[in-house]
Every structure is written in structure tokens, then in C-alpha cells.
Amino acid sequence: MAAFIAVIVITLFIAFFLSKFLFKDQTKNLPGGSLGFPLIGETFSFLQAQKQDQGPEWLEERTSKHGPMFKTSLMGSPTVVVVGQAGNKFVLGAEDDVLAAKQPVTLVAISGKQNIFELTGSRYRLVKGAMVSFLKPESLQNYIKRMDGLIKTMLLKETENKDTIKVVVTMKKFTFTIASSILFGIDDERTREVLFDDFSLAFKAVWSLPVNFPGTVYWKGLRARSRIANQILPILEQRREAFSKGKLSPTSDVFSSLLALRDENEEPVSDDLIVDNYVTLMVASHDTSAILLSLMIWKLSKDSEIYNKVLEEQMDIIGKREEGAENRLTWAEIQKMKYTWRVAQELMRIIPPVFGSFRKALKDIEYGGYDIPKGWQVFWVAHGTHMNKEIFDKPTEFDPSRFENPSKPIPPYAYIPFGGGLHTCIGNEFARVEVLTIIHNLVTMYEWSSVYPDEAITRQPMPYPSMGLPIKIKPRKP
């Protein structure tokens, strides 16, 4: 065993020496920073900082030394990190043939090589069009009553004979069920449960070291991804058959829409492409919404003033319904939830669900006086602008009113919880409707209090209350 360890140590030392001296990048003007250890880079320190919700401190330690642009190595690839509004605009506003939305190897392995973030040109526009058709406001209006009824049923089931629930896992179940049922037409409860368990494993592997060794997070995630595909392929066959018999149309669900696609040669897209984009859309549509919901419930538990304003707004919506009207939310009522959504916006400013995201340089480029070599990752972060006092007055204070009538307009690429530019999140409106519908039902149907009032936030890699946010809950008296 000792000899084996010695071989590993010597191998790593040699690799480190070669990377530093023999294979040093020929580009002369890289930004300051450190690429860390071979393969590992600075991934461990970055993930550890995220776990402790110290990501901003990790950034500030490096920007204080090197300025708003520095080099590092994350998730197995050399990376340039850019911080600030100008950097956000440079990355998010770049054309696909300069900085492509190519993700780290871990995310590509889980989502698939043909997921929408990896596609470019006509294939990207084709798949995006199919997805957007189900996520645009005109389509969402048709989902409101169904979503509202589904949430009411889930709340009643989840709280039956219980006085305590764990919010994080409950919100993940809710958003997963909503996306599965409304977007993909997967209504079989057992199928959803199996898929939910595997998605939980797969998502943990997205931000991990790409070490495919038995027992690692990455290894477990890859196996879960394989099981997801095996569950979905028979469903695709059933939908394809129903589609050919005229029992389904391209507007029935996202699967049907993707099955109806034809490329520039009038050929159908592959099952692999459909599965890859199913995985991607499920991760994007349920996990980020679950984060925001968990953070909102966490905040409402801690701040009675904000809670009471949200409750007043939601109760007022019910109170203004005409006598005998159906007890279901409408699109018009969703639009009245202005204060509740401002609370969500402020939470996403202070605790952005997505800390940052990667792009990949497809050619040698220059920014800020430095070179970015072809093949390197470029990482943008929300913190650099969300907490900038030049952009947001008193940025550390929680103030939803800053999104009501701001004294000065928020400049482009400064508030970016949903990204920006060409690859702005296509599901941002779906997320807004989903979050508001769940919060409406929760505050009007129940009262609750936090079991651990001082519960801290951690990132895994998304921000969550560290203990899963258990709450004591009881039906609200009429």
C-alpha cells in the first residue's frame, strides 16, 4: 500500500512539474491567478467555499490580488473568471462562435452532449423554439388552473397527519411533479418517484470532480443519468406511436413537440437529443424554482413584516373574487402578486440561485487587456454586480421596494439571476408563475414557523437552508 501511495505522489508531482514548466501555455498575457494542482486545479477550495456559503469571499480573495479578471482551474478545465457588469456583458453578450455556452465536462456528461446549452446555430434555434412554445406567457395562461389544482392536492397530501415538514425536499418534489406533469405529461406517480430519486443523484454530480470511480459523486450521477434515459425511452416510443395515430399533436407536451421537429434535411431529431433536453429542462425547471421557494419560505419565517405584507396581498386576491367564482387562480390574479414577486427578486439578488455559469472560448480572444486561449472556460458570476453599491444602494439590506420604483434604473447585465443575452433562461416566466402559485397556496392555506430560526444557508451547489428547513405547519383558520 505504501508503495502504491508513493507511485501516486510521484506521478502527481511529475504531472505538476510538466504542467508548470514544460507545457506552459504559450499565450504571453494571461490574467493573474493560479491554475492550482493538475486536474484538480482549485476545484476543492471553490466547492468547499460554496458549501459554506463563502463563494463571494473566495472571489474577493482573488479579485483583491488580481483585479476583476483572474485565471484558475475549475471542474477539470483552465478557467478565466470575470467579475462585474462589463465582464457580464462581455460573456453573456458574446456571439456563439466566440464564447459558446459549452458547459463543464460534468454538466455535459449528466445533461448530454446534445442539450440546448451545447447546441449552436440552426439546431439550437430549432430546439429552443420547441421548448419556448410551452414556456411563453400565452401558453402559461392555459396551465394556471391545472397547476393551482395540482399544488392544492400536493399540499393537502404532504401535510396530512403531519405537524412538521422539511421544506427543501418538499419543494423539490412539488416543482419536479409540476414540470413532469405539465411540461412532459408524465402523470404516473410511481414513474415520477423513480425519476425524482435519480435526478437528485444526477444533479449532485453536475458540480463535482469528473472522477468516474465507484462510489464517487460523479460515478453515482452517471449511473443515475443512465437509468433516467432507460425510463424515458419507452415513454418516447409510446408518444411516437400516439403521435403517428393522431392522438397527440405538437402542442400536447414538450415530448410531442420535440418528436414533431424536423431538421434542415426534413429528418426527425434523434431520441438522444430528446432525452438530453428532457434532462436539461427538468434540472432547470424544477431545481432552481425549488431553491427560490425554499429561500422565500426561509425568509418569510424570519421576517414577520415581509410575511404579513405577502399574506395581505394574497388574501386580498381571494377576497376580491366574485361570489360563486371558481376557487382557482387566474392569469389576472397572478399579475396582481407584485409585492410577492419583488420579495423573490430581492432574494435572488442577495442569494442568487445560480452563483455563476461557464462559457467556452472557441477561438483565441482578448478581453480587458488579457488573452483568453481557445478551449479555456470563462466563468461569469452574479455577486460582482448584485452586491455592488454603485449599482444597488445599501446592497446588504433586504429591500424589495428597490424593484418597485428604483431611484435609478438597473443597468443591463447588472441583475442576472436568469442570465442574460442570447442564452437568457427560457423558463424564467414559467418559474415566476410556479413560485407565485405555490406561495399563494401555502400562505393562504397554512400557518408555519421555523424549527431552527437561525438556520444558515449552504450551497450544494445551489443555495439551501443547511438543515433542509423543517417547519411546524398547521391549517390556517378560515
- Report the C-alpha dihedral over residues 153, 155, 156, 162, rounded to 10 degrees: 160
Sign for the CA dihedral angle at 210, 215, 217, 219 comes to positive
Q: Reply yes or no on whether the pLDDT at 82 is more than 90.
A: yes
Task: For residue 152, give the 3-state DSSP assignment.
Answer: helix
Q: What is the pTM of this model?
A: 0.87
Encode pLDDT of 383-423 as tens digits: 899 999 999 999 999 999 999 877 778 899 999 998 887 76
| 40 CB-contact burial (10 Å; exposed 0-12 / middle 13-18 / buried 19+) | middle
Q: Which amino acid, one-letter code, is at 168? A: V
Task: For residue 378, give the 3-state DSSP assignment.
Answer: strand
What's the DSSP call for residue 473? Answer: E
Q: What pLDDT score was predicted for residue 85?
A: 94
Q: Reply yes or no on whether the pLDDT at 478 is more than 90.
A: no
| Rounded Cα distance, 30 and 21, in Å | 15
Of the ranges 227-241, 257-271, 454-468, which is most confident? 227-241
Do 176 and 286 touch, CB atoms closer than 8 A? yes
Q: Name the superfamily (CATH) of residues 30-475.
A: Cytochrome P450 (1.10.630.10)
Encode pLDDT of 320-357 as tens digits: 887 767 788 999 999 999 999 999 999 999 999 888 88
Q: Reply yes or no on whether the pLDDT at 124 is more than 70.
A: yes
What's the DSSP call for residue 403? Answer: G
List for the chain the helix, strand, coil content (%; round to 5).
55, 10, 35
Cell of 221: 450521477
The domains of the chain are located at 30-475
In terms of phi and psi (left: phi > 0; alpha: psi -120 to 50; beta: otherwise), the region of 321 is: beta
Mean pLDDT of 160-185: 94
Q: What pLDDT score was predicted for residue 346?
A: 97
Task: For residue 76, give the 3-state DSSP assignment.
Answer: coil
Do 470 and 175 touch, CB atoms closer than 8 A? no
Do 426 and 129 touch, CB atoms closer than 8 A? no
Angle at 148 between CA 184 and CA 311, to 5 degrees: 135
* Angle at which helices 428-445 and 144-159 cross, to 10°: 50
| Rounded Cα distance, 318 and 431, in Å | 22
Mean pLDDT of the chain: 88
Q: Reply yes or no on whether the pLDDT at 7 is more than 70.
A: no
Cell of 413: 447585465
Q: What pLDDT score was predicted for residue 313?
A: 98
> Which residue ranges are tagged as binding site?
425
Which single residue is written with the C-alpha cell 429542462?
A: 281
| 413 CB-contact burial (10 Å; exposed 0-12 / middle 13-18 / buried 19+) | buried
Task: For residue 414, give the 3-state DSSP assignment.
Answer: coil
| Rounded Cα distance, 87 and 84, in Å | 5
- Of 121 and 404, the structure prediction assigns the larger pLDDT to 404
Listing DSSP states for 219-262 in one string gives: HHHHHHHHHHHHHHHHHHHHHHHHHHTTS--TTS-HHHHHHT-B
Of 455, 458, 448, nearest to 159 by C-alpha is 448
Q: Which amino acid, one-letter code, is at 26? A: Q
Which residues are CB-contacts of 353 (< 8 A; sequence separation ≥ 6)?
288, 291, 292, 295, 417, 462, 463
In terms of phi and psi (left: phi > 0; alpha: psi -120 to 50; beta: otherwise), the region of 43 is: alpha
Mean pLDDT of 176-182: 94
Listing DSSP states for 154-165 in one string gives: HHHHHHTT-SEE
Split at pLDDT 50, 70, 90, the class of 136 is: confident
User: How would you classify the pairing of strands 457-459 and 470-475?
Assistant: unpaired
Q: What pLDDT score was predicted for residue 324?
A: 67
Encode pLDDT of 284-298 as tens digits: 777 789 999 999 999
- Alpha-helical segments (H) within 337-393: 338-350, 383-386
Q: What pLDDT score was predicted for residue 26?
A: 53
pLDDT above 70 coverage of the chain, percent: 93
Which residues are CB-contacts of 308 (< 8 A; sequence separation ≥ 6)?
none
Cell of 182: 405539465
| Rounded Cα distance, 62 and 74, in Å | 14
Q: Tell me the longest C-alpha to C-alpha distance in the chain.
A: 81
Mean pLDDT of 160-173: 94
Lowest model confidence (mean pLDDT) among 119-128, 196-205, 380-389: 119-128
Q: What pLDDT score was predicted for residue 181?
A: 94
Which residues are CB-contacts of 76 (< 8 A; sequence separation ≥ 6)?
39, 41, 43, 104, 105, 106, 209, 210
| Rounded Cα distance, 73 and 377, in Å | 9
> Which residue ranges are tagged as binding site for heme?
425
Do 376 and 77 touch, CB atoms closer than 8 A? yes
Peptide bond into 461 cis (omega under 30): yes
Q: What pLDDT score was predicted for residue 285?
A: 74
Q: Reply yes or no on whether the pLDDT at 275 is more than 70.
A: yes
Q: What pLDDT score was predicted for residue 19?
A: 46
Task: For residue 365, give the 3-state DSSP assignment.
Answer: strand
Do 224 and 90 touch, CB atoms closer than 8 A? no
Encode pLDDT of 232-247 as tens digits: 999 999 999 998 888 8
User: How would you classify the pairing of strands 77-82 and 377-381?
Assistant: parallel
Q: Reply yes or no on whether the pLDDT at 23 is more than 50.
A: no
What's the DSSP call for residue 52? Answer: T
Q: Reply yes or no on whether the pLDDT at 103 is more than 80.
A: no
